[in-house]
Every structure is written in C-alpha cells, then in structure tokens.
Amino acid sequence: MNKLFLYLVARFNPLWVRYGVDPKHLLTILEAKLTMDGRRKSAFSFSQHNKNKELSGQDWILIMMMTLMGLLFSIFAQLLVHPASGLVIYFSGWIMFIISTLIVDFTDVLIDVRDNYILLPKPIKDRTLALSRILHVVIYLLRIFIPFNLVMTIIVAYKLGVLAMLLFIVLAFMGLLIGVFLVNLLYLVLIRFSTPQRFKAIVTYFQMFLYTFSIVGYQLVPRLIDYTGLDQQNLLENRYCWAIPSTWLAAIWEWSIAGVHTSTISILALAGLLFPFVALYFITGSLTKSFSERLFALASGGSESQPRKNKRLTGTTPKYAWMNWTARWACSSAAERSAYELSWFISGRSRDFQLKFYPNLVLMPVYFFVFFFFQEAGDFSKGMSLFILYASAITLTSTTYFIFFSDRFKAAWVFISHPINVPGELTMGAFKAMMVKYLLPAYLLIMLLVCVLDDFGLLDDGILAFLLSLSIYLPLMMSYEQYLTFSRPWEDVSKGNNTIRGLLGMLGAALMGLLHYFVSPYPWVIYLAIILAVTACYFGLSAYRKLGWERIRNLG
C-alpha cells in the first residue's frame, strides 16, 4: 500500500519541482514516515503492529468500523428528502471524523519533536518539509477515506451515475483537506496562545473528551437530536448552516448536479471550491513555518515560558491536603502510604494513564444519565435503580485494574530495589488511592442522583450494592496474575483473560443484584447483608494486602 502511495506522489514530481520542493527528499521522508506509521502503536488499540505486516487483524477491524460508520452516515443522509441536506449531514460527519481521528490518533505524529533533531539539521528545504508533513497526513487519511466513503460512493454511483460519483469523491477529498486545515489551525492557535506544557495538557484533555465521546456518543447523540421535521428541511436555506464548510461542499453538488444556480448557492459553491485550496496554501506556507518554529520551543522543553513562581507541586501544598488527610486515615504502613501517594500523583499527572482511565470512569455516569433522562415518565422502577447501582459499582471497581499499567513501566524498579517485605502493601495503597480519589466520589454521586430522582430509601441499597460488588471483584482480582503498581506496559491490559474476568464480575454483580431485588422489601435482610458484605470486604482486602512476592510477576 505504501509503495502505491509513494508511486502516486512521484507522478506529481514536475508539479513539486515547480513548487520549489525537492522530490527526492520528499519521497525519502515520506517513505520513512509511512514505514513508521505501519509500526506505530495506535491510540485506538493497546497493541503495537508487527514489523513485517502492514495490515494486522486489528487494522481490518478498524477498516470495518469505518465502513460501518460511513454506512450509518449514508443511511442518515438518505433519510432526508432534500439530497443536498443529506450531504451537509454526511460531510459534517466526515469532517468531524477526520478531525477527531487526527487529534486522537495522529497528534503524536503531527507534533513529533524528534523531527527537529533528525530532519532540521539536514539540508532540506522548508517547502519540502512542509509538503512532506501535509502529504503524510493526507496519505494517513486516505486509508480512512476509502472505507468511510465506500458505501456512499456506491449509493451515488447507483442512483446518479459515474459522473456524480466522481464529483462526490472529489468533494469528499476536499472535505479531507478542510479537516486537515482545521486541525492544523487549531494546533497553531493552541501552540501560539499557550505555553508548550499547556498545549500538551489541552491536547490530552481534548483527546480524552473525544475518546470518551466516541465510546458514549452513539448512546447520547441520537437521543439528543430532535428529528421532527428534519427530513423535510433544506439545510442550504438555513442561514446558520452557511457558516459550515460542509454546506459549501453540498452547495457545489447542488449547483452542478441539481442545477440550482441561485446567488446563494453560487456563492456557497464558490466558497466550497476555493476554501480547501486556500487552506492548503496557508498550511504549506505561513502556518507550517510558524508551526515548526513553535514546535521547536516544544522540543526544547518549553524553555520559552517562564517558570511559575511560588508554585510548588509537591505533596505538601494545600492542593494535596485532602490526599494527605485521607492517606493518614486509610494507610497503615509507610509502604502503603508511599504507593497511595504515588498513585494519586501519577493518576493526576500522567497523560497515558488519564487517556486510558478517564473515559472508562466517565462511561458509567454517562450511561446513568442516558438511562435516567431518556426514560419515558413512569417507566422508572426499583429494578432499574438497582441495575444502575450494581452496573456502576462493578464497572467502577474494575477500573482499579488500570493502576498496574503505565508507559513508564520500567520505573517500577524503584519497588524492586527497596526492602519491601510485603508487596501487597503497595498494591493495596494504590487500590485505596483510586478508591478514595475517583471511585467512591463517582459512586456516591451516582447513588445520590438515584436517590434524588427515585427514592432516598435506596441509600442502604446503594451501600449494599457497592460492598457486594467490591466483595465480588476482590477475589476475582486476586485469582489472576498479580503485578506491581504501574509496572506493566499498556499492551498487557488485553492479556491474561481480563475479558473473562470482566464478564465474571458482571455476571456475579447481576446475580447479586437479582437476589438484592427479591429481598429488598425486607429492610432487616438488607442490613444483615450489609454486615456480611462488610465482613467479606474486610477479609478480601486483608488477603489482598498480604500478597507476597511469589505472586508478583516480574517487571514488563
């Protein structure tokens, strides 16, 4: 596939030369970048590609997912009576998909600071470097272009013929250029108006938002849209839509295929024709130059920004008073407290941890809102409340599993090199930190909302649901391979029968929930069950705390 792309790029060599680009250098850089892409760890997966395989099984799954997404947008577009309105929706989805893919999966490539040390000292023209960056992104997106647009292309070809199909392909490609431009613009603005450290943080939060949205969005969005009359609307006549680039692309379609040549459609179509090319000119010109310059500041550790005075990010600042107070209360040994504080710090500061953990943490509350707020009035039952409580408790508890993984897993030598007698104290400290910092507050919030919206009598049920879920999860967690805190690479998350463990946990919670539902009319049974569950949790946590070195697997 890479060879095909390089061959295609080489066909335009005379054009590149005329543009002031060295085609030999351009192809050399692209070849290396595409080879690296093939071996890069994707943000969509936990695993890394094989050396000699351009397309792994996981890639095929991704291709299928993109085709499915394209199919969904195609169907949606077909539901609208006015074809150009359907295209506005379709191209909006396509451009949004490009933007989110670039931000979630390609940011590290776009802001690869190694380029400054490897490529900048070499005799490469600025334009060559700029164009190589653009073509690299475009080639990356072309892999998405084909599966996403396949269904719609077939539909257009079937309904309107080959010429319309060709126009559609051109418009989709222009949409791709617009997406690339918008991401470049966004990054340039972020780099320009924030410090490099802030830039990294903003991109991380943006990635987390998009990642979370991709997980839960399909549940929320269809419920939030009011479809009434939408199928009859002509979005090209809607003034608010005139500001959206996808409307301009749809206007080109309306002008050339439907033959509507009103002044509004003509202006919108002209904007659509010009925008991608003007954007491309800006990207390869001034934008990329500024981008590289600012990127250099990023590469040199952001030394342009002044150090923040009087701001000590240590565990003794007021910011960590809550951590210190809870650590004193929750930890019974120095080792436990060390792991507690370390987990607290890393979970708040490590980008890779936040990217993996937060979406899973947010998942349950979003489901909760979906279940609650989109129920028809009167539909809500105690069974549903218990379902939400148990589902939340078990999924939240199971996210503690993330404390074993880190990109910096080799730093866990610190645990091995110190005289720690019982490693269970470390894992317990980390487990408690996650409980206190994230899981208990999240669960309390959910429980409170359930009580407010349903019945405050559910308070004891909520407590029991959490304790029972914890008592189910603890033996499950101990029944498998044990690791030290932050000592394994993220690739290992999907190893070790974790899926089976997750399913068993869900099954156990479902059974407990069912039993709970049947005994819920008898409060004394609930209180008795709480006492039993507290005892079970106590013994479970004690056993977990006593975990010896013989159960711990070596560092990753």
Q: Which residues in this chain contact another protein in the complex, by CB under 8 A? A: 24-25, 28-29, 31-32, 35-36, 39-40, 51, 114, 116-125, 293, 296, 300, 303-306
Q: Which is nearer to another protein, 316 or 499 (CB)?
A: 316
Task: State the burial class of residue 320 (Cβ atoms within 10 Å of its Cβ: 0-12, 13-18, 19+).
Answer: middle
Minimum gap (Å) between residue 317 Cβ and another protein: 15
Residues 6+ apart with CB under 8 A from 537: 467, 470, 471, 474
Shortest reach from residue 491's CB to another protein, in Å: 13
As measured in angstroms, the least distance from the Cβ of 152 to another protein is 34
Rounded Cα distance, 452 and 446, in Å: 10
Nearer to another protein, 198 or 551 (CB): 198
469 token code pair: 């879920």
| Residue 89 contacts residue 80 (beta carbons within 8 Å) | yes
Q: How many CB atoms lie within 10 A of CB 27?
A: 18
Tell me, rounded to whole angstroms, the distance of Cα 67 from its chain centroid. Answer: 19
The minimum distance between CB 86 and another protein, in angstroms, equals 42
The Cα-based distances of 472 to 34, 59, 465, 510 in angstroms read: 47, 35, 11, 11
Report the nearest approach of another protein to the CB of residue 132 (Å): 11
What is the distance of C-alpha 29 from the center of its chain? 29
- Residue whose C-alpha is closest to residue 140's, from 186, 92, 171, 108: 108
The answer to whether 406 and 486 have CB atoms below 8 angstroms apart is yes
- Distance in Å, CB of 307 to another protein, minimum: 10
Q: What's the per-residue H, E or C state across 177-202?
A: HHHHHHHHHHHHHHHHHCCHHHHHHH
Q: Residue 305 or 479: which CB sits closer to another protein?
A: 305
For residue 324, the minimal CB distance to another protein (Å) is 12
Helix, strand or coil for residue 306?
coil
Decide whether 303 or 499 has the Cβ nearer to another protein: 303
Shortest distance in whole angstroms from residue 482 CB to another protein? 27
Cβ-based nearer residue to another protein, 33 or 437: 33
> Considering beta carbons, is residue 306 or 417 the nearer one to another protein?
306
Q: Contact 144/64 with Cβ under 8 angstroms?
A: no
**Contact call for residues 516 and 386 (beta carbons, < 8 A):** yes
Measured from the CB atom, the residue of 318 and 378 that comes closer to another protein is 318
Whichever of 131 and 463 has its CB closer to another protein, that residue is: 131
- Indicate the residue among 38 and 505 with the shorter CB distance to another protein: 38
- Least Å distance, CB 19 to another protein, is 17
Could you give the CA distance from residue 506 to residue 546 in angstroms, rounded to a whole number? 26
Q: Is 360 left (phi over 0), alpha (psi -120 to 50) or beta?
A: alpha
Cα separation, 239 vs 243, in Å, equals 8
